[in-house]
Structures are given as C-alpha cells and as structure tokens.
Amino acid sequence: MTTIGVIGGTGGQGLGIATRFVEAGEDVIIGSRTIEKAQAAVDKVKELLPGARNIRAAANPDAAKAADVLVLTVPLAAQKDTLLSIKEGAAGKPLLDATGPLESCIGGSATKYIDLPEGSAAERSQSILPDAKVICAFNNISQTWFMQLGEPIDCDCLICGNDQAAKDLVAPLIEKIPGVKVIDCGKLERACIIEKITPLLIGLNIKNKCQFGGIRITGLDRIKACDTK
C-alpha cells in the first residue's frame, strides 16, 4: 500500500482526490496548515465513506514526511509558501502538482490562464523544490467528478514530468481511480499546455451549464498500417 499525502487537501479538489484514493484502498494523509483543518477534512471523508480507516490528518510538513507520494492541491497564491513548508519531506519523492494558474486567483476570470515566468505552475514547483520529482497531474479532471463516488470518471489524466521512473510509479496509482486513464505527455515543459486546457474546460462547462466536461485522448493504441508492413 502506498501512502499518499494530499498537501492542502481541504478544498474541493484535494478532498475529492483524497476520497477517491481512500475508496481505492490506499493509505491517505490529508495535510493542511493546521491539524484542526486537516482533521475536519478527514471527518468529511469518513462521512462519505463510513468505516474508512485508511485516512488520517496532519500538518502539511508532517504529511509530506510520512507520505510516499505527494499531491499538491492549493491555489496558486498559496503554492510557494506551501511548497517551502514541505521542502524537507518532499525531497526525492514524486509530487503531483494540480495547481491551476487561472486569473481567478487574482480576481479575474477562471476561463483565462496566467502566464508564469517559469513557464507553468508545475515548473514553478520544480524550481522551488529542486529535489522533488514534480509531475503535472489532475489539472483537467473536474472536482465534481471526484465526488461522484462509485461512478467511473469519464476523463483522462494528462501528466508530464522529467523523471520517467516517477511517472511510471504514479501512473498505476492514479489509474486505481475508476475510469481514469493516464496519458504521459512527456517532459515537464509540456505542463503549460496541460494547464491551459483547464480554463478551456471551465469555459465549456459554463457554456453548457455542466460540471463534468473533461478530455479523452484517443487513437494512441491504434497500430498504423505502415507499422505492420
């Protein structure tokens, strides 16, 4: 069993990811700035999954130290301070960064992307935590989907990162969430492309009065005719 630390896991996205991993039988730690806030989130998960024992609360630094794999689910404004608080515990570990650099973080529209000097939010995380194995992940899956417990999620999880071994480690873990297929998009420099899909999906959801819009990548397993000659 892998221990997953959901850092800043008290918001809708973090709570949903944590709940799905608990449902899948993984050991989960919800982290927050305070143990009290983390415990409140754990109590919510236990309400959704009565009898669940594979989840506990911790302050973010303690969650990072105790976990094997980390998932960062904080707003862009809290990204740097949160990462600095877990720097010691995150060293050498895969860190799945779900940060969305959207204009809503600074009072603008959630359908517009903020261009960051580092290139993307995930690359910003890597620059702050050079010893962590940062992987851009979970950016394109609606938090509403995560909370539809017992129902497969109709969305792929696009990931990218510079450490192939870390991606190979987390891919089957992510795919324990029913319906989710992991698509490895390459190096971390691709994160800006993955992150920019998020405001597009938000806009489509708003336009169609929906909360479940996602993305599927098709045809990758199709054998080209020329390959069989």
Do strands 3-7 and 133-136 pair parallel, antiparallel, or not at all (unpaired)? unpaired
Q: pLDDT by residue (tens digit) across 12-70?
A: 999 999 999 999 999 999 999 999 999 999 999 999 999 899 999 999 999 999 999 99
Q: Please tell me the total count of domains within the chain.
A: 1
Q: How many H helices and E strands in the chain?
A: 9, 8
Structural domain span for residue 201: 3-228
Q: pLDDT by residue (tens digit) across 150-198?
A: 899 999 999 999 999 999 999 999 999 999 999 999 999 999 999 999 8
Answer for the pair 110, 183: CB distance below 8 angstroms, yes or no: no
Q: What is the CATH number of the domain that holds 220?
A: 3.40.50.720
**How far, CA to CA in Å, does 110 sit from each of 114, 198, 203?**
10, 9, 8
Query: Is residue 107 helix, strand or coil?
Result: coil
**How far, CA to CA in Å, does 192 sit from each of 79, 80, 118, 159?**
16, 18, 10, 11
137: left (phi over 0), alpha (psi -120 to 50) or beta: beta
Pick 225 or 34 by higher pLDDT. Answer: 34
Q: What is the pTM of this model?
A: 0.91
Distance from CA of residue 24 to its chain's centroid? 16
